[in-house]
Amino acid sequence: MRGNLFAVGVDLVVLTVRDDELCVLLVRRTEKPFEDTWGLPGGFVAPDEDLPDTAARELAAQTGAGTAGRVSGHLEQIAGYAAPDRDPRGRVLSVAFLALLPDMPDPDQPDVVSGWHPVADVTDLAFDHAQILADGVERARETLEYTTLAAAFCPPEFTVTDLRRVYEAVWRTEIDPRNFSRKVTSTPGFLVPTNRHVTGGPGRPAQLFRRGPATRLHPAMLREPAVRVG
Amino acid sequence: MRGNLFAVGVDLVVLTVRDDELCVLLVRRTEKPFEDTWGLPGGFVAPDEDLPDTAARELAAQTGAGTAGRVSGHLEQIAGYAAPDRDPRGRVLSVAFLALLPDMPDPDQPDVVSGWHPVADVTDLAFDHAQILADGVERARETLEYTTLAAAFCPPEFTVTDLRRVYEAVWRTEIDPRNFSRKVTSTPGFLVPTNRHVTGGPGRPAQLFRRGPATRLHPAMLREPAVRVG
DNA sequence: CGAAATTCTCGTCAGGCTGACACTACCGCG
DNA sequence: CGCGGTAGTGTCAGCCTGACGAGAATTTCG
């Protein structure tokens, strides 16, 4: 065993969709380095703790107890980051995790040191967190193409339109509501219909659905490939 | 900074296709723990080294100098592994990388302590390397669906049949040669035709191609979803 | 109350892509 | 030369998607 040792932390890219915008949970740093700048929430791995345990513990601590154990929501590893100069304090390896959560009402006493920020507006994060955030967002975009995980952004019961708005916010595109509805309702195991409908809003009431057992989307729902300009 | 420090290593899942079989590079361990069992090649991260540097260095050391710098071939991170008991010597975090290489002739003096093993035959690896290998193979299978990286398994010039055999070996399926040819030759930027043909074998000579600039395959070449039995 | 606006849902249709497969082109071999 | 074998083209039906049209069910407004 070499003497070249690392501190190991976990950083979280916690995403949600609120007001039709993809948002990320950021914390205001109160310590050096990068004091008074925004960064991803995270913490160090405790003795006898595995990486997913650390991620779940930090997620619960940052978003409210019990959140990590919700039926909805999702947590997966993105990658490890260990550039020699990424932390001025010394060699720190960070394993980033991606968490997808339904939009939740703000706590009664808003926390001034952490909050949701539209991903499109984020600039100047601490450490290499801008890169980690970019990787996490790209992972989320790809995940929506091939899996049913968009429902992780939704509360336990939701409408087809709720689900469509998730795709539109994450991909920053518009999707035809009729074709989208046909796709998701005809995929076996994606949506389980309840027979209740939402009321109150304008227009015809929409049916409420629950997440089904399917995890993979087949065939995939492919975004248009990025258009090559010029 | 906490006192809970980790040794950090890089493990490699080096895959190639030889004799129509997906093979992985394994090394025979000569030290404890897991002495005299097979494991993935790897090593510790050196001071001032980033993870991809370590992976490239180890890959070059294990497969012959200069290999890591080939035009063909591919190296990407899989994930970090840090279960508390994964190494009996203490806390070791390992970042796994996936390398895809073209099949190369064996060195003149075969190395008895490292060699290619069909993935289907591998059992009982050291540490948690069986899990890492499984994750790497699954990543490779998915990558072939959505990208043009199958060509990383091929030498600089190859035929459509060579490429099809890569897909068949990695996915363990059979693909219709005519439909496969239509798909890959009609994808812009995947294959660049040379006007030379292979000679010598039976049958009509096949045209030789080079890798094109395309990286994404759109639409994807989707495997059949796993059939639910029962 | 009635009309307009809004939203959800089902239908239709053309075009693209895929799987299945007939058929032709070109090689080595006996 | 005929034959088996491999490479590549052509065809066709079926599925899926994008682009709508149109009806259903509710709220909002005059």
> Could you tell me the CATH number of the domain that includes residue A59?
3.90.79.10
DSSP string, B8-35: EEEEEEEEEEETTEEEEEEEE--SSSST
Q: Which B residues between 178 and 217 have a beta carbon under 7 A from any strand C atom?
A: 178-179, 182-183, 199-205
* Residue A114 shares a structural domain with residue A163: no
Q: Is residue B116 part of a domain?
A: yes
Output A76 or A106, whichever has higher pLDDT. A76
Q: Would you tell me which residues 51-80 of chain B have a C-beta closer than 8 angstroms to some C-beta of chain A?
A: 51, 77, 79-80
Interface test with B, best of A44, A45, A77 (most B CBs within 10 A): A45
The tens place of each residue's pLDDT in chain B, 230 residues long, gives 556 899 999 999 999 999 999 999 999 999 889 999 999 999 999 999 999 999 999 999 988 755 544 546 799 999 999 999 999 999 999 999 999 999 987 665 667 788 999 999 999 999 999 999 999 999 999 999 999 999 999 999 999 999 999 999 999 999 999 999 999 999 999 999 999 999 888 999 999 999 999 999 999 999 876 554 43
Tell me the average pLDDT across A74-79: 97
* Whether B54 and B155 share a structural domain: no
Q: Is residue A45 part of a domain?
A: yes
pLDDT band of residue A28 (cuts 50, 70, 90) is very high
Domain end call among A146, A163, A181:
A146
The DSSP bridge partners found for residue A74 are A100
- B227 and chain A in contact, CB less than 8 A: no
- Residues 6+ away with beta carbon under 8 Å from B87: B33, B127
pLDDT, mean of residues A199-226 = 91
Residues 160-179 of B with CB under 7 A from strand C: 176, 178-179
Q: Quick one: A130 and A42 in the same domain? A: yes
* Residues A153, A138 share a domain: no
Q: Which residue has the higher pLDDT, A88 or A65?
A: A88
Note whether A162 and A97 are same-domain residues. no
Which of A4, A81, A89 lies at the smallest CB-CB distance from B1? Answer: A89
Residue B205 shares a structural domain with residue B114: no
Would A220 be classed as within a structural domain? no
Of B146, B169, B190, the residue that ends a domain is B146
- The C1' atom of C26 and the CA atom of B206 lie apart, in whole Å, by 10
CATH code of the domain in which A178 resides: 1.10.10.10
Query: What are the helix (H) ranges across chain B?
Result: 51-63, 129-146, 160-171, 177-186
Which candidate from A7, A50, A83 shows the least CB-CB separation from B82? Answer: A50
Burial class (CB in 10 A: 0-12, 13-18, 19+), A93: buried
Q: What is the pLDDT of residue B228?
A: 46
Same-domain status, B188 and B100 = no
The residue segments making up the domain with residue B84 are 7-146
- With respect to residue B179, please indicate whether it lies within any of the assigned structural domains: yes
Confirm whether B219 is domain-assigned.
no
Residues B200, B168 within the same domain:
yes
What is the percent of chain A with per-residue pLDDT over 90, rounded to a whole number? Answer: 83
Task: Give the dihedral of Cα atoms B206, B208, B212, B216; nearest 10 deg.
Answer: 30
A157 and A140 share one domain: no
Rounded to whole angstroms, the Cα distance separating A72 from A230 reads: 43
pLDDT score, position A22: 98
Query: Does residue B230 lie in a domain region?
Result: no
In this structure, the answer to whether residues A69 and A13 fall within a common structural domain is yes
Domain-embedded: residue B64 = yes
Task: Tell me which of A50, A87, A215 to substitute to probe the interface with B (most B C-beta atoms closer than 10 Å).
Answer: A50
Rounded to whole angstroms, the Cα distance separating A157 from A194 reads 9
In a domain, A221, yes or no: no
Considering the domain architecture, whether residues B129 and B185 belong to the same structural domain is answered as: no
pLDDT of residue A50: 98
Residues B95 and B30 in one domain: yes
The total of structural domains in chain A comes to 2
pTM score: 0.93
Residue A192 contacts B where some CB pair is shorter than 8 Å: no
- Residue ending a domain, among B131, B146, B161, is B146
